[in-house]
Amino acid sequence: MTVRIEATADRQFGTNSYLVEDETTHDAVVIDANLEPQQMIDLVGERQVNVRAILLTHTDIDHVGGLPALLGAFGSIPVAVHDAEKEVVAEGKPLRREFGPPTEPVENVVSLAEGETLRAGSLAFEVLHTPGHSPGGVSLKIGGNLFTGDALFAGSIGRSDFSNSDSRALLDGINTKLLTQPDELVVYSGHGPATTIGRERSTNPFLT
């Protein structure tokens, strides 16, 4: 299977949303729903793909703010999230007391669980629980690609200074679940450019 990956980013936070497409079947998923969802809606239209699900690496407002618009455009497709943050999506409860009101509740919510495979059409993602930035943070692996949300960035790591963050858990997850992956694995982060596991293992100043 050949996977095509394209990104859009919002201007307010530079949060990446990703369109992951099986180029054979044209099944696709959207990973994270940034604050400028029309960019993703337009991209889906250009690619003429079938969006089978929306996968959330975590539920900070800049990663879920576009959900209502995406669901309005794509229909009531499943929204996948770790159980530790499920109520943010299913009930509209805020993840952080530091930030504003959450989005409206979503009906079709499914679980992302450590060690399990999330299937969406012809696409299959391995789920790695990488908490610390937030309790239900996950990384999603498909082929030679790894979507790390706000756990691991090019040259940096996620914030862990929120009330429900855990700096030790963040570093533990990065070291045991991400840096143990092959060097050539391409890392697509919640913010900023793509990188590789090998590059981050050898040069990331937060991991030395």
148 or 104: which leads in pLDDT: 148
- For position 18, what pLDDT does the model report? 99
Residue 19 banded pLDDT, cuts 50, 70, 90 = very high
- For position 200, what pLDDT does the model report? 98
Superfamily of domain 3-207: Ribonuclease Z/Hydroxyacylglutathione hydrolase-like (3.60.15.10)
- For position 29, what pLDDT does the model report? 98
- For position 99, what pLDDT does the model report? 73
pLDDT tens digits, 164-194? 999 999 999 999 999 999 999 999 999 999 9
Tokens, residue 30: 């959207």
Per domain, the residue ranges of the chain are 3-207
pTM of the model: 0.97
- For position 208, what pLDDT does the model report? 72
Query: CB within 8 A of 208, min separation 6: which ones?
Result: none
Residue 83 banded pLDDT, cuts 50, 70, 90 = very high
Among 7, 51, 46, 49, which residue's Cα sits nearest to residue 24?
49
Tokens, residue 78: 């499943």
**What separation, in Å, do the N-terminal and C-terminal C-alpha atoms of the chain show?**
35
Burial class of 12 by CB neighbour count within 10 A (0 to 12, 13 to 18, 19+): exposed
